[in-house]
């Protein structure tokens, strides 16, 4: 899943800000360098131009002097006049360049500093008289001697000053250019320093993020390792090429009974674990799992590796589990199956339990069949069979104890035992006692190979003694069933309606007390003269009294330690009293000497269950006691097999209503609780 944009920006905000600052700093330095370079280039041009003024001034003066000398000597002066014109033109052009006349007010001269402008103004002021004197000479085809002398005098008297001003301007412009270059260097050094700091900041942040990311990755890996080292199931990823992933649970080699290297082909793994038919089915299923179009529910149903029996090793044995279950979960990325998460379970114990359960069910079924067969036979014949079978087994057992330690005696004993067991098997089969017949047949299977051997030893007789005990146990079970049937047939029928009810109550109370680790004594008192009760009332009593007794033991009677702390006997008492009146009504009370019921405890329990505080506080004692009979209410915080679900008293109230009986509750905290059922006589 891709991170949200704001999360991504928040995570790298500092790095992005540092990179933006670095780019802005570089751009600023670039702009400043460009601008400063332009200024230095302009200053260089100014310096060159200012230097040229000095040269042109000398050439102009020299040309004027040469022109005057040539005119005085009568020589040709056209060359001197041409040099004068050239020098004048060059000086004027340079001066105009400095003044900005060629480019207007936006030219280079317009940006001069005040001192340069002042020097330039002085230079122009010094030049102007020379310019006035030279122009008549240049404009005349044949200049007059007087104009030439005037121009020479003007040039000679002002040339030194003009050269000095040009030199001052040149030096000032050079100093300005040097200052600009120094500023540029300082700015560049500062920018380089700031850029370096920013670079180190970026590197620091990047390394810090990298280290933090590495720590998080390592922490995640550590958690993954701890999980994979802890889970008992085998876990690994299987890519589309059929290779096992790097991350694997520690239990995987133990489950497979061999080391499992990362990158191992799944085909190579199952080739050593499964039978060829299972291998082919597994390969086809893996190919099907990487098909996104197949429904997951169908894939789960088609899984051929849900329960597999592992192949035995080369020695016919196998270390580790014998049965495994493979579960596959598709790992999706953008709608495509990128890999499979494979979970391997050891189901050897479950399979063994299933086999044991099936065997136990088969044995139980067989035993039931045998017991039913006993009821179908003549008891006298069954008793005769049991007696004769026990006698034969007794003789075999005695022979095992008295046998002489020699091979011939061992062989005679085995033959004797075989005849006795075969006889038991035949009689059991005739009587339909299939379980006894089957047990005897297994005994014969044990004896048959021993009868053929000539090298018998005393150790060979040990399994015989065990089988004798098993068969005697089968006969004893059948004998016990016969005895119970006989006692049932001979037991006198009780005419008192409360005798069986008393047995049930006592048995239930002791069973509940045992389950809850309590001690209890049950007292049931009923009149010797059986009352005349109809079947409907007796049925209601059989339903209601066990509930009240269970409630008394579970809720009323305290634990042994609690009773001793309260100064009571460690054994609690539950007393059930039956009483009749002359009108024919019946009163039954169930009283325990336990913790009793307090209204404060009921009120606190109602508040715990979330009932409104104002309502609970306003309830009377009678109303509080009545809540004990509401559905789902129980004073016990944790439910167990016998109490805590808020059903018992609610059920008793419903039963009493259907039976037309009244129910009364009386209690004293830390002393007793008594429920009384009042049944009206039938009209």
**For the segment 376-402, what is each residue's pLDDT rounded down to a tens digit?**
667 777 887 888 888 888 888 888 888
Which has the minimum average pLDDT: 531-545, 553-567, 642-656? 642-656
Q: In sequence order, which residues have a C-beta less than 8 Å from that of residue 514 and are 6 or more positions away?
A: none
- Per-residue confidence (pLDDT) for residue 103, from 0 to 100: 38
- Residue 34: which domain range? 5-205
- Per-residue confidence (pLDDT) for residue 52, from 0 to 100: 81
Asked if the model's pLDDT at residue 257 lies above 80, the reply is no
Q: Does 218 fall in a domain?
A: no
Q: Does 91 fall in a domain?
A: yes
- Per-residue confidence (pLDDT) for residue 57, from 0 to 100: 82
Asked if the model's pLDDT at residue 574 lies above 90, the reply is yes
- Per-residue confidence (pLDDT) for residue 590, from 0 to 100: 93
Q: Does 427 fall in a domain?
A: yes
- Per-residue confidence (pLDDT) for residue 107, from 0 to 100: 42
Which has the minimum average pLDDT: 39-48, 109-118, 255-264, 541-550? 109-118
Distance CA 600, CA 382 (A): 65
One domain, residues 27 and 169:
yes
Order the strands of the 586-592 sheet from edge to edge.
520-525, 572-580, 586-592, 672-679, 661-668
- Per-residue confidence (pLDDT) for residue 675, from 0 to 100: 92
Distance CA 146, CA 139 (A): 14
Q: How confident is the model at residue 492 (pLDDT cuts 50, 70, 90)?
A: low
Picking from 346, 381, 398, the residue at the C-terminal end of a domain is: 346
One domain, residues 50 and 194:
yes
Asked if the model's pLDDT at residue 118 lies above 70, the reply is yes
Asked if the model's pLDDT at residue 325 lies above 70, the reply is yes
Query: Are the beta carbons of 475 and 390 closer than 8 angstroms?
Result: yes
One domain, residues 118 and 41:
yes
Asked if the model's pLDDT at residue 1 lies above 60, the reply is no
Query: Are the beta carbons of 227 and 210 closer than 8 angstroms?
Result: no
Asked if the model's pLDDT at residue 546 lies above 80, the reply is yes
One domain, residues 579 and 628:
yes
Distance CA 674, CA 664 (A): 8
Distance CA 23, CA 586 (A): 103
CATH of the domain at 78: 1.20.120.1730
25 versus 597: the higher-pLDDT residue is: 597
One domain, residues 249 and 360:
no
One domain, residues 323 and 422:
no
Q: Which of 134, 122, 150, 43 is nearest to 90 (CA)?
A: 134
Q: Does 90 fall in a domain?
A: yes
Asked if the model's pLDDT at residue 161 lies above 90, the reply is no
CATH of the domain at 624: 3.30.565.10
One domain, residues 568 and 667:
yes
* φ/ψ (deg, to 5) at 94: -65, -40
> pLDDT over 90 for what percent of the chain?
6
**For the segment 579-620, what is each residue's pLDDT rounded down to a tens digit?**
877 676 788 899 999 989 889 888 898 888 888 988 989 999
One domain, residues 311 and 376:
no
Q: How confident is the model at residue 317 (pLDDT cuts 50, 70, 90)?
A: low
Asked if the model's pLDDT at residue 131 lies above 50, the reply is yes
Q: Does 200 fall in a domain?
A: yes
**What global pTM score does this model have?**
0.39
Q: Does 211 fall in a domain?
A: no
What is the pLDDT of the chain when averaged over all its residues?
Answer: 80
CATH of the domain at 300: 3.30.450.20
Asked if the model's pLDDT at residue 529 lies above 70, the reply is no
Structurally, the chain folds into a number of domains equal to 4
Q: Does 213 fall in a domain?
A: no
Q: Does 226 fall in a domain?
A: no
Q: In sequence order, which residues have a C-beta less than 8 Å from that of residue 16 and are 6 or more positions away?
A: 9
Picking from 322, 346, 370, the residue at the C-terminal end of a domain is: 346
Average pLDDT of 416-422? 84
- Per-residue confidence (pLDDT) for residue 82, from 0 to 100: 86
Q: Are strands 572-580 and 520-525 parallel, antiparallel or unpaired?
A: parallel
Picking from 430, 457, 490, the residue at the C-terminal end of a domain is: 490
């Amino acid at each position: 899943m891709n991170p949200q944009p704001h999360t991504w920006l928040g995570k790298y905000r500092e790095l992005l800000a540092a990179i933006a600052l670095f780019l802005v700093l570089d751009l600023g330095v670039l702009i400043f360098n460009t601008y400063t370079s332009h200024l230095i280039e302009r200053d260089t041009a100014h310096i060159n131009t200012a230097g040229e003024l000095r040269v042109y001034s000398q050439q102009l003066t020299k040309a004027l002097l040469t022109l005057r000398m040539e005119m005085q000597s009568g020589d040709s002066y056209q060359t001197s006049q041409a040099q004068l014109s050239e020098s004048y033109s060059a000086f004027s052009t340079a001066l105009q360049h400095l003044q900005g006349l060629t480019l207007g007010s936006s030219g280079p001269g317009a940006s001069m500093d005040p001192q340069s402008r002042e020097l330039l103004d002085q230079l122009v002021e010094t030049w102007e008289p020379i310019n006035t004197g030279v122009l008549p000479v240049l404009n005349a085809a044949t200049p007059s001697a007087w104009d030439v002398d005037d121009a020479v005098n003007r040039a000679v008297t002002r040339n030194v000053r003009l050269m000095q001003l040009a030199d001052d301007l040149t030096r000032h412009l050079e100093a300005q250019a040097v200052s600009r270059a120094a500023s540029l260097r300082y700015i560049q050094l500062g920018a380089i320093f700031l850029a370096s700091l920013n670079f180190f900041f970026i590197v620091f942040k990047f390394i810090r993020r990298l280290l933090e990311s590495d720590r998080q990755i390592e922490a995640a890996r550590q958690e993954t390792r701890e999980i994979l080292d802890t889970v008992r199931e085998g876990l690994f990823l299987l890519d589309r090429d059929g290779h096992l992933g790097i991350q694997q649970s520690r239990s995987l080699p133990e489950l497979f009974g061999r080391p499992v290297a990362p990158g191992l082909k799944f085909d190579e793994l199952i080739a050593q674990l499964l039978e060829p038919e299972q291998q082919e089915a597994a390969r086809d299923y893996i190919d099907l799992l990487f098909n996104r179009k197949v429904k997951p529910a169908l894939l789960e149903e088609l899984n051929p590796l849900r329960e597999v029996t592992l192949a035995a090793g080369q020695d016919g044995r196998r270390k580790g589990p014998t049965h495994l279950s493979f579960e596959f979960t598709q790992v999706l990325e953008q709608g495509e199956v990128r890999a499979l998460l494979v979970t391997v379970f050891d189901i050897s114990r479950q399979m063994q339990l299933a086999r044991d359960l099936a065997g136990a069910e088969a044995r139980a079924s067989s035993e039931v069949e045998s017991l039913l067969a006993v009821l179908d036979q003549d008891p006298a014949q069954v008793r005769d069979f049991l007696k004769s079978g026990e006698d034969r087994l007794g003789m075999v057992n005695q022979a095992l104890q008295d046998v002489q330690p020699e091979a011939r005696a061992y062989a005679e004993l085995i033959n004797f035992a075989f005849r006795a067991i075969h006889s038991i098997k035949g009689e059991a089969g005739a009587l339909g006692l299939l379980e006894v017949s089957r047990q005897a047949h297994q005994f014969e299977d044990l004896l048959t190979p021993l009868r053929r051997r000539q090298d018998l030893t005393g150790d060979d007789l040990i399994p015989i003694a065990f089988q004798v005990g098993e068969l005697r146990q089968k006969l004893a079970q059948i004998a016990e069933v016969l005895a119970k049937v006989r006692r049932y047939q001979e037991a006198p029928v009780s005419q008192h309606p409360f005798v069986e009810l008393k047995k049930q109550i006592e048995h239930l109370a002791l069973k509940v007390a045992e389950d809850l680790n309590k001690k209890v004594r049950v007292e049931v008192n009923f009149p010797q003269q059986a009352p005349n009760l109809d079947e409907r009332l007796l049925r209601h009593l059989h339903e209601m009294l066990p509930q009240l007794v269970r409630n008394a033991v579970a809720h009323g009677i305290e634990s042994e330690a609690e009773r001793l702390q309260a100064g009571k006997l460690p054994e609690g008492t539950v007393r059930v009293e039956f009483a009749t009146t002359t009108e024919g009504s019946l009163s039954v009370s169930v009283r325990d000497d336990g913790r009793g019921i307090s209204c404060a405890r009921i009120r606190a329990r109602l508040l715990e269950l979330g009932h409104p505080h104002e309502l609970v506080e306003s309830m009377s004692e009678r109303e509080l006691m009545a809540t004990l009979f509401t559905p789902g209410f129980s004073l016990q915080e944790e439910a167990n097999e016998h109490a805590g679900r808020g059903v018992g008293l609610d059920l008793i109230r419903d039963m009493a209503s259907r039976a037309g009986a009244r129910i009364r509750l009386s209690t004293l905290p830390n002393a007793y609780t008594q429920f009384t059922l009042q049944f009206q006589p039938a009209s």
